[in-house]
């Protein structure tokens, strides 16, 4: 089989790129190793930068987002005793939008189904060849048999554990990585959020985040050890610990209920040295992972799609390869800026295990600077709402 662009991964990045390419008349095939039911059942974050929202509009898949998305003009930060608000509209001139990644995935699937897109599930890719030539190809499994797709380009949107990155040449596989000694225990509950905007809380008991998916669906997190298991926590234990990490006024408003999902996310930072080799592109988690503090993961995947789409469209419409050559540098430039912000925010808000009193005082001083200085809040707002592409 022959196509112009072979996309590995049926998550939001792969689906969004496919949708944008098809609207331009560029043929694409998506290969996803899991079932569609598995892909659309995964619980992920949903704080969208203005640039991500704009891309969804450009792709013609923002109708439901416009109706159901929650526009947030700021966030609250707390030290466990009191809180202050960073106003995005005043300081950055734009909001963020809360709309679950699962919903984005469903919207993209619906649109691509209407397009008649070629999306192949339970089709793991086993080999990628000839990416340093003009005729790359990949092999995948379907129903126990190997199949081949010949293409012009391969775009791997298949996540940190995917195969795409493994087929970079060895000399280009230098990775930058750091694992934090803690994770986030998160629950989803059918309860109204305690606040109209997100609350990031730093307390002596550890970090907590109050988020939401809708006005009747809350997503809450607490800092736990990296090796912690969700089954070790009852709902009652979670609510008790979550409540004591919040400012008293917010703790009073908390409504509890049974969790409908519970999981632990280990915090790590990872960046691949390059996001392109020849005609193989990496997008999203295939090339980088940021700590969830600051909500940059999905948004960086969307910015990678922006740069990849620009490169591919310029090639097919104008025969120009300049944007292809520039892809990795442009995408990684934005990735490292987002990494710096997420790293800073993570280290300010999370006490380390057995942290010294000196380190704790430095965290408090950093937090106090953010509370008092408008200039720091302005930098925070610009980074949180999304730097320009």
Cα(26)–Cα(33) distance, integer angstroms: 23
Active-site entry in 200, 221, 309, 316: 200
**292 counts as catalytic:** yes
Residue of 296, 307, 315, 351 with catalytic role: 296
Among this protein's residues, is 384 annotated catalytic? Answer: yes
Catalytic residue among 12, 20, 72, 350: 72
Q: Does residue 200 carry a catalytic annotation?
A: yes
Q: Report residue 230 as tokens.
A: 């969700």
Active-site pick, 292, 306, 316, 327: 292
Q: Which residues contact 54 (CB under 8 A, 6 or more apart)?
A: none
Is residue 296 flagged as an active site residue? yes
Catalytic residues: 72, 200, 292, 296, 384
């Amino acid at each position: 089989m022959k196509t112009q662009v072979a996309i590995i991964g049926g998550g939001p990045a792969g689906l969004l790129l496919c949708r944008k390419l098809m609207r331009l008349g560029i043929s694409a095939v998506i290969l996803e190793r899991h079932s569609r039911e598995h892909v659309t059942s995964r619980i992920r974050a949903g704080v969208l930068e203005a640039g991500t929202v704009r891309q969804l509009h450009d792709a013609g898949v923002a109708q439901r987002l416009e109706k159901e998305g929650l526009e947030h003009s700021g966030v609250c930060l707390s030290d466990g005793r009191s809180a202050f608000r960073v106003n995005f509209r005043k300081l950055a001139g734009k909001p963020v939008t809360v709309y679950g990644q699962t919903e984005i995935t469903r919207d993209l699937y619906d649109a691509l189904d209407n397009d008649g897109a070629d999306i192949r599930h339970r089709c793991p890719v086993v080999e990628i060849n000839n990416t340093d030539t003009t005729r790359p190809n990949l092999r995948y499994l379907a129903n126990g048999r190997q199949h081949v797709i010949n293409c012009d380009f391969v775009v791997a949107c298949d996540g940190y554990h995917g195969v795409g990155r493994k087929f970079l040449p060895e000399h280009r596989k230098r990775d930058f990585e750091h694992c934090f000694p803690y994770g986030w225990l998160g629950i989803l509950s059918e309860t109204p959020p305690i606040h109209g905007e997100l609350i990031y809380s730093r307390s002596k008991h550890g970090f907590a985040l109050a988020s939401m998916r809708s006005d009747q669906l809350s997503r809450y997190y607490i800092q736990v050890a990296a090796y912690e298991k969700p089954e070790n926590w009852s709902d009652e234990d979670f609510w008790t610990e979550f409540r004591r990490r919040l400012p008293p006024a917010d703790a009073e408003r908390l409504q509890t209920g049974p969790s409908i999902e519970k999981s632990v996310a280990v915090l790590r930072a990872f960046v691949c040295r390059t996001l392109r080799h020849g005609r193989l592109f990496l997008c999203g988690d295939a090339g980088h992972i940021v700590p969830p503090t600051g909500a940059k993961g999905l948004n960086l995947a969307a910015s990678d799609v922006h740069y990849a789409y620009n490169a591919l469209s310029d090639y097919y419409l104008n025969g120009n390869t300049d944007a292809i050559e520039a892809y990795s540098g442009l995408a990684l430039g934005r990735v490292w800026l987002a990494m710096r912000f997420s790293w800073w925010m993570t280290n300010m808000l999370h006490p380390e295990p057995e942290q010294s009193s000196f380190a704790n005082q430095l965290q408090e001083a950093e937090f106090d600077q953010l509370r008092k200085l408008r200039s720091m809040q302005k930098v925070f707002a610009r980074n949180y709402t999304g730097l320009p592409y």
